[in-house]
Amino acid sequence: MTDLLRLPLTDLVHRLGRRELSPVELMRVTLARIAATHEQLNAFVALRDESALLADARLAEARIARGEARPLEGVPLGVKDLEDACGLVTTHGSLPFKNNLAERDSLQVERLRAAGAIVVGKTNAPEFGWTAITKNLLFGETRNPWSLDRTPGGSSGGSSAAIAAGVVAMATASDGGGSVRLPATFTGCFGLKPSFGRIPHGPDALWVTIDTAGHGPLTRTVEDAALHLDVTVGEHPLDPSSLPHPGVSYRSVLRQLKPSCRIGFSPDLGYAVVQSDVAETVETAALVFQELGHSLEIVKGGPPELGRDWGFANAFESAAKLHALLPEHEGEFGRQFIAGVKQGWQMTPERWAAAQRRREELNRWCADVFARYDLLLTPTAPYDPPPAKGPFPTELEGRRLALASVASFTIPFNLSWHPAATVRAGFSKAGLPVGLQIVGPRHRDDLVLQAAFAFEQARPWAHQWPAL
């Protein structure tokens, strides 16, 4: 039955729809797999009542029997513990929120449920999604199924570990600076940060001012991600930044990549330090597009390095959300997390203005790149996943690393709003997955998916997953 849980989401949907697989059987197998892998992975941190889950599965089975199946009918769904699912606690991986019971679904979860998915439980995340290492004081660290002493990344690390280890085929994820793409890379999955606003955000008690974060699919295949998007995209009145429905099914256009794209490749964005074997693996993967008939050119230079600006902006917004809990509950937060949040008080008009000028430099650089190229390729993560408990490396092959070095290639496209995906490029010398990032023009999520799908067809990866 473990092999069943390693199937792509689209294969499971097909089997369920043809009644070759029962939603009840699938739910039982999923719950058994969660229990069997929990001690090793710690991917799921909360579950709904088993009897309620089996009742939902029976309802899904009846719908399928009546010919009324919805696109995700009977599919077990994990929800990242930064996102609300009605009836479950949203802890944000934080002790002061350990009893924060959600009274409604997030907009994304609401749409996934409406498409027939069955929420099973919550997947682990770092405290308020702050780091690319998934650990917190409430639930401890989540581990990478490829190497249990390593992190599966963050902040969507519980989701990525569960998908890569054959626990569930579908789990939600979100990306504020790489939190879909980095865990997808570290676990060999596919991950997409869509154009800003593509999947509606919220609802939130506080109007969101930091416009870098969004939900995105983290899956086993590109087609799985397209299916996820097809049932979640489209504007919503509770999210003023949400984009209108694109008017097409992403899944239906996957095979429509034009035959000769102009593709730029930046091995370092002009500033990043990259592990040598990771760099070699990514360059080899980029050349696949040349083999497919597309032009490939090296892009020299790059945008300004914006990791520190990004960090200060997020600290400022986090301080706005949490200041009412301080100082009474300060000791309950993780030390590093709350120290980072308190940097938000150092934000000044001068610092804000300087950051916005650098962001405009990034915007101009991106405009120039996409005037010359249809797509941009880079590494996704610059080095192998760090240890499960941390820390991040401060030096790499004799070169000093910046504070946010793990997100050197991902942060720019959160700040610029461009869609960016990661595909499995191969493996490092340590036998760990390496990611190739594919970036497209704003609102061209379809083009990014098409390029990712073409790469996946040329270099298939979804048949190869770690054995626990």
Calculate mean pLDDT across residues 119-130. Answer: 97
* pLDDT, tens digit (0-9, with 9 covering 90-100), for 109-121: 999 999 999 999 9
The three-point CA angle 185-382-375 to 5° equals 70
Average pLDDT value for residue range 454-464:
96
Q: Render pLDDT for 65-95 as a digit per residue (tens, 0 to 9).
A: 999 999 999 999 999 999 999 999 999 999 9
- Let me know if 80 is a catalytic residue: yes
- Catalytic-role residue among 179, 195, 266, 428: 179
Q: Is 408 a catalytic residue?
A: no
- How far, in Å, CA of 448 to CA of 450, rounded? 5
Q: What is the DSSP letter of 303?
A: P
- Between CA 366 and CA 459 the distance in angstroms is 28
Helix, strand, coil percentages (3-state) for the chain, rounded to 5, are 40, 15, 45
3-state secondary structure of 396: strand
Question: Residue 9: which residues within 8 A CB-CB, separation 6 or more?
Answer: 75, 169, 170, 219, 220, 221, 224, 227, 228
Dist CA 71 CA 55 (whole Å): 19
Quote the percentage of the chain above a pLDDT of 90. 96
* CA dist., res. 209 & res. 394, Å (int): 31
Coil vs helix vs strand at 171: strand
Amino acid at site 156:
S
Contact 4, 21 (CB under 8 A): yes
Reference 33, options 72, 7, 69, 11; nearest CA is 7
Mean pLDDT of the chain: 96
Determine which one of 94, 106, 155, 174 is catalytic. Answer: 155
Q: Domains in the chain, please, with CATH?
A: 2-458 (3.90.1300.10)
Dist CA 182 CA 154 (whole Å) = 7
Q: What is the pLDDT of residues 25-64, one digit of tens each?
A: 999 999 999 999 999 999 999 999 999 999 999 999 999 9
Model confidence pLDDT, tens digit, residues 300-311: 999 999 999 999
pLDDT, tens digit, for every residue of 213-257? 999 999 999 999 999 999 999 999 999 999 999 999 999 999 999
pLDDT by residue (tens digit) across 185-222? 999 999 999 999 999 998 987 666 669 999 999 999 99
176 burial (CB, 10 Å; 0-12 / 13-18 / 19+) is buried
pLDDT tens readout for residues 380-437: 999 999 999 999 999 999 999 998 999 999 999 999 999 999 999 999 999 999 999 9
